[in-house]
Every structure is written in structure tokens, then in C-alpha cells.
Amino acid sequence: MARVCSNPVSFHRLRPPFNTTVPQPSLLIKASIHYRLKARRFPTIIACQTTPNPAESETEKAVVNVESNSVSDSDVSSTQKSADAGFIEFPNKEINRGIAVASTLAALGLFLFTRLDFGVSLKDLSAAALPYEQALTNGKPTVLEFYADWCEVCRELAPDVYRVEQQYKDRVNFVMLNVDNTKWEQELDEFGVEGIPHFAFLDREGNEEGNVVGRLPRQYLLENVDALAHGKASIPHARIVGQYSSAENRKVHQVVDPRSHG
């Protein structure tokens, strides 16, 4: 509460208003005494209490402290919530390890699925291939592949060859000759096979249009076969060499069946 203080001196200096008639001296003395008594009594009546009610003050302080404490607690809790909301709780190490392993396995599975066809091997391609003699006489263009079972690049490209073969097998012959078979010594010299896999592209008359050797994109094989299937005068990739296995490492064996192309 505001403290109001009076100035008795200022009230003491006030003079009563003058009358038109001059009062008697005795009346002036009485009035002055009466005025002084009133001036002395007036500050006591209107002065505020210098010390407020102790109980009331303590109550107000308690209310203020409770409100400040509640505000502080709410501020701390809201600040903590906002701080917690700013950070993301990461999973523990075991979960992270599991996610990493699952992602690796998924990526490996996707790579193997897109790059390798399980169940397709060189042996399967060789068994499904057309005999060389028949390919030269049926009037279709031919893709002639020289390979070996120990050739890593040959095994790697087997799925690509299989896909292209499935797409063009009705219009193009696919023949596979194993370089380990002594039966194909003449063809090795004729087509100049030094590295495998060696793909020779023959037109309908059996004339070589070109060849590609080693690991190359499947698109190269696909475009060459497509050119043969449409009877074009040349193939787009006629002399290209990639990473290959040397034909000098071949394991020569005797032919069991003269009709075998393996």
C-alpha cells in the first residue's frame, strides 16, 4: 500500500480567512489555539500505517513465492520438452547393427538377382546350344561362343547370354564351342581365338561380320545380335576386346563323342 504523509508545517502556516469585521483579541487567541490543536491532531488521523499487517504481508509473500515457483516449474518443464523435441532418439547399437546387416543382404540379393540368374550355368547353355554343323546349314545367322568351364568371365556372362538367347533364339543360332575340346582346333585357328569368351557373329552364309572378346556390357551383345536378326550388312560392335581369360590355359582333352560340341 502507498504511504501518505502530511506536512504539519504546511498546515500550520495556513491562516484562516479574514472577516470584514475585526475579531476581538480573545477570539483570535481561541481560534489560534483551536487551529493548532487541529493541525497537530490531523497528521495522526490521516497518516498511513508505517508497518503493514505482518500476517497479511507473509500471506502475500507466500502467494508470490508459490506463483514464482509454479512459473519456474512450468518454464523448466516446457524448456525440457522443447529441448527433448529437438533431438531424435536413435535406436541402440543392436538395432543399428541389425539394420546394417539387413541392408547389406538386401543390396547383395538385388545385385545377384539383377546380375546373375540362379540356375543358369555354362553347362546349361552348352546343353541347349545348337550343334555347329546344323547352324551352318539352316540359313540363319549365328552367334558362335568359344568358352571353357574354368573361365570366370565366361561364367559371369552366362546370364547375359541366356537373356539375349531367349529373346532371339527363333531368328538366330546360338552355338557354344569348348576350347578344351580338341575337336575345335581348326575353328580356334580360323577365328583367331586367343582369349575367352570369344563371340563370333556370322551372317546367314556363315561369313564372320565381327567379334567381341572378354567382359563387355550386355548391350554390346544385344545390339550385335539384333543387327544379325534384322539382316543388316554390318554389326555395330565388330572388333572390341574386354577383360578375358587366356586361351593358352585351356585343358585339352580327347573328344568322347565326335558329334559333341562341348
pLDDT at 228 over 80: yes
Residue 130: CA count within 13 A, CB half-sphere: 20
Residue boundaries of the structural domains of the chain: 126-230
Secondary structure element (H or E) that encloses residue 158, with its range: helix 152-168
Confidence band for 251, pLDDT divided at 50, 70 and 90: confident
CA distance 193 to 223: 22
Secondary structure element (H or E) that encloses residue 122, with its range: helix 122-128
**Predicted confidence (pLDDT) per residue in 95-116, tens digit:** 888 888 888 887 776 555 544 4
Residue 193's pLDDT is 95
CA distance 231 to 117: 30
CA distance 199 to 144: 6
Cell reading at 41 = 491532531
Confidence band for 6, pLDDT divided at 50, 70 and 90: very low
pLDDT at 191 over 70: yes
**Predicted confidence (pLDDT) per residue in 20-67, tens digit:** 455 555 544 454 544 454 444 444 444 444 445 545 455 555 444 544
pLDDT at 146 over 70: yes
At 134, give phi and psi (nearest 5°).
-70, -35
User: 126-230 has which CATH code?
Assistant: 3.40.30.10
CA distance 14 to 57: 38
5 carries an active-site annotation: no
Between residues 74 and 219, the one the model is more confident about: 219
Q: How much is the pTM?
A: 0.54
Q: What is the mean pLDDT of the chain?
A: 74
**Predicted confidence (pLDDT) per residue in 115-138, tens digit:** 444 568 898 899 899 999 999 999
CA distance 76 to 43: 50
Between residues 258 and 205, the one the model is more confident about: 205
Task: Name the active-site residue from 151, 161, 196, 221.
Answer: 151
At 219, give phi and psi (nearest 5°).
-60, -35
CA distance 105 to 5: 90
Task: Please list, in sequence order, all residues whose beta carbon lies within 8 angstroms of the beta carbon of residue 133, skipping any fewer than 6 positions away.
Answer: none
Task: Name the active-site residue from 122, 125, 143, 154.
Answer: 154
Per DSSP, the three-state class of 191 is: coil
CA distance 117 to 99: 26
pLDDT at 8 over 90: no
Per DSSP, the three-state class of 242 is: coil
Residue 62's pLDDT is 46
- How many CB atoms lie under 10 A from the CB of residue 176? 22
Residue the block writes with cell 483570535: 28
CA distance 114 to 112: 6
**Predicted confidence (pLDDT) per residue in 59-92, tens digit:** 555 444 544 454 445 554 555 555 455 545 555 7
151 carries an active-site annotation: yes
At 93, give phi and psi (nearest 5°).
-65, -35
